[in-house]
Structure 1
Amino acid sequence: MTSPAARFAALYAALTAAHEVGDYWAQQDADAVAKGKPGREGTAACLRHVAGYTATQAVAVAAVNRAFGLRLSLGRAAAGLALSAATHYVADRCAGRWADDSPDAPALVRLAHRAGHSPWLRNDPQAGPLMDQAWHKGWIALAAAVATGRH
C-alpha cells in the first residue's frame, strides 16, 4: 500500500505539471487575452480556459493514479480538481489587472494591494504573473491534500 505522503507527493507533482500544460499549452490565445475582461466576454473566456485546464489536470490525476496504484477515491479526486478549478478561475479573472488598486478591481487584486504589495505590483510587470502563479501553486498543494486524504 502506498503511504499518504507518497500519494500526496505524486499527486502534487502531477497536478503541478498539468497546471503548466493546462495554463500555457492548452489555453487558447483568445481566452488568455479576454479572461480578465469584465462582463460576459471575460467570464466566458475564463470558463473555457478553466474547463480545459481542469480536463488537463484530470487526465494527469487519472494517469498517475493508474500508473502508481495510488487508489485515489473518485470523490476525493473530484473534490481536489474542483478546488483547483475554482481557485484558478478566481485568479485568472484578475488577468492583466494586478496593478489596479481601484475599488472595482477584482477581490484578489485588492487583497494583494491590502497585503502591502502595491509598490511591487505597480512597478514590476512580472509581479502580477508571479502573484498569479504563487496563488495557483498554493491551491494546487491543498487540492492534492484533499484528493489524497484518507481512503
Structure 2
Amino acid sequence: MTAAFAAYLAALLTAHTVGDHWIQTHHQATCKGKPGLVGALACLRHVATYTATTAALGLLVWQVLELELSWLGFLAGQLLSAATHYLADRRVYLERFARWIGKADFLRLGVPRTGTDRNGNAYDDNPSLGTAGYSLDQSFHHLCLFFAALLTVTL
C-alpha cells in the first residue's frame, strides 16, 4: 500500500501541475475567481479539464504499475480532488481563510501594483506567478491531493 500511495500521489501532483499550467485556458485562469456566474462557470470548466488530467494520469499509473486500487477509491479520490480544487480556485474561500488566520499581510506579497507610465497608460509593475496567494493556493492543492491519494489507496 505504501508504494501505491507514493506512485499515485506522484501521478496526482504531476497531473495537478499539468492541469493548472498547461491545460487550463487563459480565460479560465483569468475568470475563475470572478464573482457570479462568469467566475463559477470558468472555474467549473477548469475543474472539468483538471479532473480529466488527474484521472488520465491516475488511470495510467494504476494500470501500468498494476496498483491494487478500487474503483470506489479512485472515484472518491477524484471527487475530493475536484471539489477542493473548485473551492480553492474560486479564490474567495482561501483568501478569507488566510485573512482569518492572520495572513492578510502575507497575501499582499508579490502582488503587482497598477500604475501609469508617462503617457497615462495603465500597467502592472510586477506581473508574475510569484505571489504569496499563489503559494498558498498551490500548497492547499498539494495538501488536498495528499488526502485524495490516501483516500484512493485505502478504499
SS in 2 for 1:116: coil
> Which residues of 2 match residues 69-88 of structure 1 at below 5 A?
69-88=66-85
Alignment-mate amino acid for residue 124 of structure 1: G
Q: State the shift of 1:118 in Å.
A: 1.0
Q: State the shift of 1:107 in Å.
A: 2.9
> Which residues of 2 match residues 17-32 of structure 1 at below 5 A?
17-32=14-29
Larger Rg: 2
Partner of 2:99: 113
Per-residue Cα deviation, 1:26-60 (whole angstroms, up to 9, x for no partner): 00111111100001100000000000000000001
Percent of pairs with identical residues: 46
- CA RMSD between the two structures: 0.9
The runs of 5 or more residues in structure 1 that have no matched partner are: 95-105
Q: State the shift of 1:22 in Å.
A: 0.5
The runs of 5 or more residues in structure 2 that have no matched partner are: 112-130
SS in 1 for 2:68: coil
Task: Give, in whole Å, the separation in 2 of the partners of 1:43 and 1:50.
Answer: 10
Q: State the shift of 1:108 in Å.
A: 2.3
> Number of aligned pairs?
136
Alignment-mate amino acid for residue 93 of structure 1: R
TM-score of the superposition, structure 2-length normalised? 0.85
Q: State the shift of 1:71 in Å.
A: 2.3
Instruction: State whether residues 110 and 132 of structure 2, in contact with CA within 8 Å, keep that contact through their aligned partners in structure 1.
Output: yes
Q: Does 1:14 align with 2:8?
A: no
After TM superposition, the structure 1 stretch with the greater mean CA deviation from structure 2, 70-79 or 115-124, is 115-124
TM-score of the superposition, structure 1-length normalised? 0.87
Instruction: State whether residues 23 and 49 of structure 2, in contact with CA within 8 Å, keep that contact through their aligned partners in structure 1.
Output: yes
